[in-house]
Structure 1
Amino acid sequence: GLKALASESQASLAGQTIGAYRIERLLGRGGMGEVYLAEDLRLERPVALKFLARRLAADSWARRRLIREAQAVARLDHPNICAVFGLEEADEHSFIVMQYVEGETLAVRLRQRPPVPAQALRFAEQIVRAIAEAHAHGLIHRDIKPQNVIVSDNEQLKVLDFGLAKSVEQTRDLAAGDVANQISQNGLVIGTIGYMSPEQLRAERLDFRSDVFSLGTLLYELFAGENPFARASGAETISAILTVQPPPLRNLASGVSTGLERLIHKCLEKDRTARFHSATELLYELSLLEQKNTPRWQPRRYLNQAAFLAFLALMALPAFVYFRSPSSPQPLATNVSSLSPAAMHTLAVLPIAIERAGENVGQEVEYLAHGLTESLIGKLSALPDLQVKAFTSVAGYKDKPLVPQTIGQELNVDTLLLGKLLWRRTGWALQTELVSVKDGTRIWSTERALQLDQVLDLQDDIAKSVIANLRLRTEGESNLLAHRGTTNPQAFRQYMLGRYYWRNRTDKNIHDAIHHFTKAIEIDPLYAQAHAGLADSYVLLSTVSFGKTPTEEAMSKAIAAAKDALSLNDNLPEAHTALGVVNLRYDWEWQQAEKEFQRAIALKPDYAPAHYWYSSLLIILGRRDEAIAESELAKKLDPFSAPSVMNVCRTLSLSRQYDRAIACYDKLLQEKPDYDHAKYLRGLVYQRSERTEEALAIFQTLYQKNPALAGAALGYAYGKQGKMKEARQVLTEMEALSKRRYIPPQEFAIIYIGLGDHDNAFRYLDQAYQEHFPTLAYIAIDPIFANLRADARYTTLVARLKLPSPAA
């Protein structure tokens, strides 16, 4: 069931058979169309069918938006969300196939049998979990109200109509006292007046905080029995939402704690910056409230045991007890004669190897080895008397011959922790050993069967063994447990998968990473590291390398995910870095970006991404020497990463050290000959250093392979060489390409700069400014813009970006 969105009469479809569905009766009617109860003749189950209105059936825009929204909703697999099974077309009808939910709406329940406080709290948790799931996927509901919540007979709640209302109604006007109680923004039906946020009513751009306000209104009504803003007419209701503070909840609802009252009133703040940033943050506060009221309460994980067992079978990791096979190495006596209890030790956890004779190892085991390595590094890094090398510093030793003393000297550590996944007759086992670099002796070793549902405990046991054998001080188990992030092995598995794909990121893999981080959050909404992983992923989505997501969409999702992470754990360097990247690449808040990067570095000095992005900020601000030093440090911390090496080359180039930059790119391309982005950037250095023919040759070759990457540079190069016909041909081809995919306006500006057409150049640069296109921030330091500096419009643009004046 979906409730109708507006009113429109059309002939009933009841009694007809459309495709594989026999229509039984009308459930609701609206401006988008009608919703019917039907029987799925193939699967013999009841379903709800939502038909596109006949007047929109031929509207390609409406159909495209409907398809896009249905696809988004179909990804929301959650017990408190009404599922979308598919989008179909049959007999000239377009319709969504949805789960049919037996029950009554929450609106009916509130009128007829209002819940007692404990019951209302259970209802509230289910609703907030559903909206948190949508926010984790980047969806804003926009129409949260009791009529869109179904209460089943067993009191399981289902939230309906995710994201559909905003996409289907193109024209509608708001009138005071509108009996349909609807409102439109830019032609889109987006919600019901009594539950709208102030910014919805003002037709402003919406984000997750709009849903938080609507949730607050619904929760207030859930406990008090009345909507705090409902008035006799639509106009009065709008006025109340915009100007009137709701009465204290406890004045109307007995049994409500002061903590719950504070939480709901925070949702109802008129200023969105004072509200919870998303439903995930609200869910976290709600969970703390329940923990305080009922100490034994734990957040539900909705762990599906059958699915978990199926996963174990897939992984060839059958449940078994810990064992020690005859061929396994026995624990050795601790060799700590040279280790003093108070010594500060240095350790490198090398990438866990995989050994299975005669067979290739699948990705499922690869991610496990990768995830265990990174997780152990994170856990051991929390110990006060142990300096642990970052994952980026050791990643290049994967699958290389292990000569402990040589590797230890290269990494400048005194101890190595080695691991290997071995296939035994009964399944996978993890073999670990602690080795002294000084003389190569084995300090400790063990082999444990790898039982996936106990992998978190296994990591703790390994960490405790390292502590014991190196005689380290520790605050007890609290330090180790705090760095788990989650107590749910399924959530941990999804997180490890997310990190695996993020580390090996491509256009496809970055979206796979988002999928797995999102699944981890679905299982454990309070998993701060998973929210941080989501933020790490979203900040990359607006780049050409990782897809075509509009900058605003990618960055708004990154902000939400990072703030959710920090609301759960303010000490995550990943989340602070992600916020810094948003400030750097989207908000252009330079001081705030520097604050976030410095905070991340203070929390984890060897966190390479923080140094990488900080170097970008420093070069944008013209602090060249600092930028070079920071880029070199990022490379030192992540020596096996091509982007880290390329960042040094780019920083040298933007610092006008062209010979060093070219040598840097040459060395990188010797190791990575197919790295097109490095070739492109080397071409820019040639262009800047007057090696124009070499630059032109690079851009011509790349343009044939990837016009979106090289088109602007090629058009500019042609223009600067006086080849105006060729430059205009590239411009024409890029304009044609922009009709098929997104091409940033700055790319066209660069071609116009080459052509000497400054009016058109500034026209497109202004568009880039309006879009907050990230690389516009380089306008004060990139020589490609040098010819514009004498124009007053250039000075104005630099000032609008709050950048320092260009250096000579």
Structure 2
Amino acid sequence: MKRCPACNRVETDDALAFCRADGTALINDSASLGADERTARFGSGSVASEIETRILPQTVTDADMSRPTGPTTVLDRQQTIGRTQELTKHQRRKILAAITVLILAAIAVSAYFYLARKNIAAIQSVAVLPFVNASGNADVEYLSDGITESLINSLSQLPNLSVKARSTVFHYKGKDVTPQQVGSELSVQAVLNGRVTQRGDQLTLSVELVDARTGNQIWGEQYNRMTADLVSLQSEIARDVSTKLRVKLSGADKQKLAKNYTANPEAYQLYLKGLFYSNKRTLKDSEIAVRYLQQATAADPSFAPALVGLADSYVYIALSEGGAPAHEVMPKGRDAALKALTLNDGLGEAHAALGFILTCYDYDFAGAEREYQRAIELSPNFVNAHQRYSLLLTLLGRHEESLAEARRGLEIDPLSLIANRGYGERLIEARRYEEAVAQLKKTLELDSNFPLAYSSLASVYQAQGDYAASVEAIAKSYELTGRPEYAALARESFAKGGWSGYLRAMLERRLDLRAYTRATYHAALGERDKAFAELNKAYENREGGLIRLKVDPRLDPLRDDPRFQELLRRVGLPQ
């Protein structure tokens, strides 16, 4: 630009841009090759509007113009100009190539980091797969399962993040699946994997967050702690994961994430053991769960989630055939739920537990509805709250509302066995038998060893008059719950005496049957007086089965009896 004295521009960023344009024009102007003899004059605009050649008087004179020049001089001058032109073009190409490479590299790097940030920022759904017990000791399986469930519960509190429910992700436990497969099947963008190793008091957790679309690792970390630090460790992992997912947290969100319901490591491990057994959903395992959860609440009486787990386990025992009488265990469950709410009224799970007890034991349906609505308000993704509310609605004859609520639960957790079976039950109660069969078979496609689905199939097959299928389904349920003697009794009695032979054999040999179940058998046999005697006994014992009085197809033979309407009134159900 020293050759451009006409520019006279102030040295600003804009001026430099103008000079660059002027310089480019000079370079590209073939007439400017003889730079010693010529210069350029530019227009006053921001870009060159005109290039004008002028002879510098101090450089070329008339004498110079008239002086002859020999051939050699001309040739030398042409060679010099040619070499200069060739060199200038060669240098210019090298410079332009280098600049191009640098620009492309900068663009590529910028694009990589931009897209990486964009992908992380866009993650709004995650599945926490069951952590692997890498200790080689089955006795600490409760630890890997418990850590998984606790992380699911913690991450579920984060805003704008969809976290798949426990029942959905545990479908993959023990299976060899890729993050891409999980992402496709569950429609999530990220998968959290983990391995748990315990050696004495030493605990090692290896955690990995993976992009479900590409299989690339987003983040990974190994945590080495003492077992006594397990409570705080889970909060730390949840915070780290939220950071890597770029979830924006308010002050309240951070408090929720950091909240630990107990600081007592012994109480926490006992709680995890209780959850491990209660999730198995059998009478025997529920009884084991109660023992662990009682110990957990004794170690820390203010441990609210342990109290909720205790309440739910008591309810399961009360509703199970062969379990302790409802009047022995339901009041204990109610006390546990109420104490949990006293400690923390914001626990949606505690409201759902209390609502279920009000439904099944107290027959306080209005109070139960308030509790369910509060539970869903506090924990909208808690599937059990939707399922229990759906049950209440169908008991009251509000079938369309009930089915809609059951579907909401399925939308949240489409792989939940409880939610799928519950939807099938609601279809039975709405007298939509064909749909119920299809739904229950779909449930068994998720897990062919789910005994409750077979129990429900037995009911719908009975309603359809397919007694052979009903007996086979109930026999399968007995086998899956560890009672092969009852399975054999069902098949043998039906083979010998048909449907009535089966019913009488069950009444005579199964002395552990609940009064409500016995009433359904007597109703099927046409023995009305015996059926009502058992129903009255069920009412005195506050049996949970009695809440289905209005909608159970097995009681249809009794509905025209005035005693039936009187019983509906006593229970508090609409007539």
Shared fold by TM > 0.5?
yes
Distance (Å, rounded) in 1 between the aligned partners of 2:127 and 2:158: 14
Is the contact made by 2:515 and 2:538 (CA closer than 8 Å) also made in structure 1? yes
Letter in 2 for 1:588: Y
How far did residue 606 of structure 1 move? 1.6
- The 5-angstrom pairing of residues 766-781 of structure 1 reads 766-781=536-551
- Residue of structure 1 equivalent to 2:278: 502
* Alignment equivalent of 2:259, drawn from 464, 480, 483: 483
Distance 1:682 1:386, change over 3 A: closer
Letter in 1 for 2:124: H
In structure 1, the gaps of 5 or more residues are 1-332
How far did residue 588 of structure 1 move? 1.4
1:681 aligns with 2:456: yes
1:338 aligns with 2:338: no
Is the contact made by 2:123 and 2:190 (CA closer than 8 Å) also made in structure 1? no
* Alignment equivalent of 2:555, drawn from 773, 776, 785: 785
- Residue of structure 2 equivalent to 1:591: 366
**Deviation string, structure 1 residues 163-192 (Cα, Å, up to 9, x no partner):** xxxxxxxxxxxxxxxxxxxxxxxxxxxxxx
- The 5-angstrom pairing of residues 656-675 of structure 1 reads 656-669=431-444, 672-673=447-448, 675=450
How far did residue 361 of structure 1 move? 3.0
- The 5-angstrom pairing of residues 194-593 of structure 1 reads 336-338=116-118, 345-355=124-134, 360-364=136-140, 366-422=141-197, 428-476=203-251, 479-480=255-256, 483-544=259-320, 547-593=322-368
How far did residue 766 of structure 1 move? 1.6
Q: Which structure has more strand as a fraction of its residues?
A: 1
- Residue of structure 2 equivalent to 1:190: none
Letter in 2 for 1:689: Q
How far did residue 377 of structure 1 move? 1.9
How far did residue 515 of structure 1 move? 1.8
- Residue of structure 2 equivalent to 1:610: 385
How far did residue 427 of structure 1 move? 5.5
Matched residues, number: 459
Is the contact made by 1:703 and 1:711 (CA closer than 8 Å) also made in structure 2? no
Is the contact made by 2:203 and 2:227 (CA closer than 8 Å) also made in structure 1? no
How far did residue 720 of structure 1 move? 11
Distance 1:527 1:623, change over 3 A: same
Greater Rg, structure 1 or structure 2?
Answer: 2
Distance 1:339 1:771, change over 3 A: same
Instruction: State the TM-score, normalizing by the size of structure 2.
Output: 0.71
Is the contact made by 1:573 and 1:601 (CA closer than 8 Å) also made in structure 2? yes
Is the contact made by 2:232 and 2:260 (CA closer than 8 Å) also made in structure 1? no
Distance (Å, rounded) in 2 between the aligned partners of 1:771 and 1:440: 56
Is the contact made by 2:387 and 2:406 (CA closer than 8 Å) also made in structure 1? yes
How far did residue 522 of structure 1 move? 1.7
**Deviation string, structure 1 residues 563-603 (Cα, Å, up to 9, x no partner):** 11111111112211111111111111222212212211221
Of stretches 405-414 and 558-567 in structure 1, the one that deviates more from structure 2 is 405-414
Distance 1:551 1:604, change over 3 A: same
In structure 2, the residue corresponding to 1:794 is in which secondary structure?
Answer: helix
How far did residue 744 of structure 1 move? 2.3
Is the contact made by 1:727 and 1:751 (CA closer than 8 Å) also made in structure 2? no
How far did residue 550 of structure 1 move? 0.8
- Residue of structure 2 equivalent to 1:634: 409
Distance (Å, rounded) in 2 between the aligned partners of 1:618 and 1:527: 32
Distance 1:392 1:792, change over 3 A: same
Distance 1:533 1:689, change over 3 A: same
Is the contact made by 2:417 and 2:446 (CA closer than 8 Å) also made in structure 1? no
- The 5-angstrom pairing of residues 658-807 of structure 1 reads 658-669=433-444, 672-673=447-448, 675-695=450-470, 726=501, 729-730=504-505, 733-734=508-509, 737-738=510-511, 742-805=512-575
Is the contact made by 1:708 and 1:743 (CA closer than 8 Å) also made in structure 2? no
Distance (Å, rounded) in 1 between the aligned partners of 2:201 and 2:533: 68
- Residue of structure 2 equivalent to 1:233: none
Letter in 1 for 2:190: T
Letter in 2 for 1:762: F
Distance (Å, rounded) in 2 between the aligned partners of 1:468 and 1:399: 29
**Deviation string, structure 1 residues 254-298 (Cα, Å, up to 9, x no partner):** xxxxxxxxxxxxxxxxxxxxxxxxxxxxxxxxxxxxxxxxxxxxx
Letter in 1 for 2:291: H
How far did residue 500 of structure 1 move? 1.3
Distance (Å, rounded) in 2 between the aligned partners of 1:395 and 1:445: 22
Distance (Å, rounded) in 2 between the aligned partners of 1:513 and 1:361: 20
Letter in 1 for 2:225: L
Is the contact made by 1:614 and 1:630 (CA closer than 8 Å) also made in structure 2? yes
Distance 1:405 1:673, change over 3 A: closer
- The 5-angstrom pairing of residues 109-188 of structure 1 reads none
Distance 1:371 1:694, change over 3 A: closer
In structure 2, the residue corresponding to 1:534 is in which secondary structure?
Answer: helix
Is the contact made by 1:638 and 1:644 (CA closer than 8 Å) also made in structure 2? yes
How far did residue 787 of structure 1 move? 2.1
In structure 2, the residue corresponding to 1:606 is in which secondary structure?
Answer: coil
**Deviation string, structure 1 residues 599-622 (Cα, Å, up to 9, x no partner):** 112211221211222222122122
Is the contact made by 2:283 and 2:316 (CA closer than 8 Å) also made in structure 1? no
**Deviation string, structure 1 residues 34-79 (Cα, Å, up to 9, x no partner):** xxxxxxxxxxxxxxxxxxxxxxxxxxxxxxxxxxxxxxxxxxxxxx
How far did residue 417 of structure 1 move? 2.3
**Deviation string, structure 1 residues 696-732 (Cα, Å, up to 9, x no partner):** 56568889967889999999999997x5xx4785376
Is the contact made by 1:702 and 1:710 (CA closer than 8 Å) also made in structure 2? no
Is the contact made by 1:576 and 1:599 (CA closer than 8 Å) also made in structure 2? yes
Distance (Å, rounded) in 1 between the aligned partners of 2:476 and 2:212: 49
Distance (Å, rounded) in 1 between the aligned partners of 2:164 and 2:478: 41
- Residue of structure 2 equivalent to 1:37: none
Is the contact made by 1:417 and 1:433 (CA closer than 8 Å) also made in structure 2? yes
In structure 1, the residue corresponding to 2:158 is in which secondary structure?
Answer: coil
Is the contact made by 1:392 and 1:637 (CA closer than 8 Å) also made in structure 2? no
**Deviation string, structure 1 residues 203-231 (Cα, Å, up to 9, x no partner):** xxxxxxxxxxxxxxxxxxxxxxxxxxxxx
**Deviation string, structure 1 residues 139-160 (Cα, Å, up to 9, x no partner):** xxxxxxxxxxxxxxxxxxxxxx
Distance (Å, rounded) in 1 between the aligned partners of 2:507 and 2:218: 68
Letter in 2 for 1:345: Q
Distance 1:770 1:412, change over 3 A: same
Is the contact made by 2:515 and 2:535 (CA closer than 8 Å) also made in structure 1? yes
Is the contact made by 1:348 and 1:413 (CA closer than 8 Å) also made in structure 2? yes
How far did residue 793 of structure 1 move? 1.4
In structure 2, the gaps of 5 or more residues are 1-112
Is the contact made by 1:716 and 1:755 (CA closer than 8 Å) also made in structure 2? no
Is the contact made by 1:382 and 1:479 (CA closer than 8 Å) also made in structure 2? no
**Deviation string, structure 1 residues 364-407 (Cα, Å, up to 9, x no partner):** 1x111111111122222223343322222322222333422332
- Residue of structure 2 equivalent to 1:649: 424
Is the contact made by 1:768 and 1:776 (CA closer than 8 Å) also made in structure 2? yes
Is the contact made by 1:716 and 1:752 (CA closer than 8 Å) also made in structure 2? no
How far did residue 693 of structure 1 move? 4.6
Of stretches 762-771 and 698-707 in structure 1, the one that deviates more from structure 2 is 698-707
